[in-house]
Amino acid sequence: MHRRTLPTAALLAGTLAVPAQAQAQGGGRLAAVQAAGRIRVGTTGDFNPMSFRDPASREYRGHQIDCAQQLARDMNLRVEFVATDWRTLMNGLAADQFDVVMTGTSISVARAMAGAFTIPWGRTGFIPLVRRRDATRFANWEALNQRSVTIGTTLGTTMEQFVQQALPNATLRRVESPARDWQELLGGRVDAAMTSVIEAGFLTREYPDLAAIFRDAPRNPIPMAFLAPPNDAAWLRFLDTWVLLRQESGFFAEMARKWGLAEG
């Protein structure tokens, strides 16, 4: 099927202009961001390679940052990054602190009850991190599901929910931002940390003492999407349109190559 008959720039300009004009007349968030000349993007800055702070410049970088900048360019707006964390992310969305969350959120029922997800741009899965010297300690997933095993998760993430539901016998240690679960693992305060396939690739390269186990059997395959405030269907349709067009243009495939994303 040949669907890319127009150049990407023309496709985006022609398709995105229609809902923008309609919303400018009828109000809503799309009209508001256009009137303000900027789009506010909530991001955590603690999820490499999705959203992180460059140590030298202290500026945000990552897959989701590139996506936010591309969205702003396509809308002829400037992007304003608004710092948030996983624990308060949904509260910030409800309090109108940002127009969209772009930080590597995976879809969950709990989040969908408080916000509106776009169509997925990708997917991931969960795997445990352990200290390299413990790589042979756990033969399978069930070996983690023991009261004697302490698993770290970052408070407010879908990994926290996953451990509660899938490994109920394990001892759960919730870590509050700006600290992270893998830091507890490096410090020897937990036996394992639950992470995404995406983040595991970065962490095991950055910290040789860490090892990802069960890479061939990740759990909880889950779509990843941007998160918008609830109760604005027109704004969500616009974001869905943008994701769809950028998928067709090859933008998300290019971003996956650039940032070394693994399939989950």
Residue-level pLDDT at 264: 36
What six digits make up the tokens of 101? 């969350």
The residues with which 131 forms a beta bridge, in sequence order, are 210
Q: What is the structure's pLDDT at 20?
A: 40
CB neighbourhood size of 139 (10 A): 10
Structure tokens at 15: 């398709």
pLDDT tens by residue, the chain, 264 residues: 334 434 444 445 444 543 444 334 457 999 999 999 999 999 999 999 999 998 889 999 999 999 999 999 999 999 999 999 999 999 999 999 999 999 999 999 999 999 999 999 999 999 999 999 999 999 999 999 999 999 999 998 999 999 999 999 999 999 998 889 999 999 999 999 999 998 998 899 999 999 999 999 999 999 999 999 999 999 999 999 999 999 999 999 999 999 988 543
**What is the DSSP code string of the chain?**
-----S-HHHHHHHHHHHHHHHHHHH-SHHHHHHHHTEEEEEE-SEETTTEEE-TTT--EESHHHHHHHHHHHHTT-EEEEEE--TTTHHHHHHTTS-SEE-S-PBP-HHHHTTSEE-S-SEEEEEEEEEEGGGTTT--SGGGG-STT-EEEEETTSHHHHHHHHH-TTSEEEEE-TTS-HHHHHHTTS-SEEEEEHHHHHHHHHH-TTEEE--TTS-EEEEEE--EE-SS-HHHHHHHHHHHHHHHHHTHHHHHHHHHTPPP-
Check residue 167 and give its pLDDT: 97
What structural domains does the chain harbor? 8-121+225-259 (3.40.190.10), 125-221 (3.40.190.10)
pLDDT for position 133? 95
Name the one residue in this structure whose structure tokens are 């109920």. 168
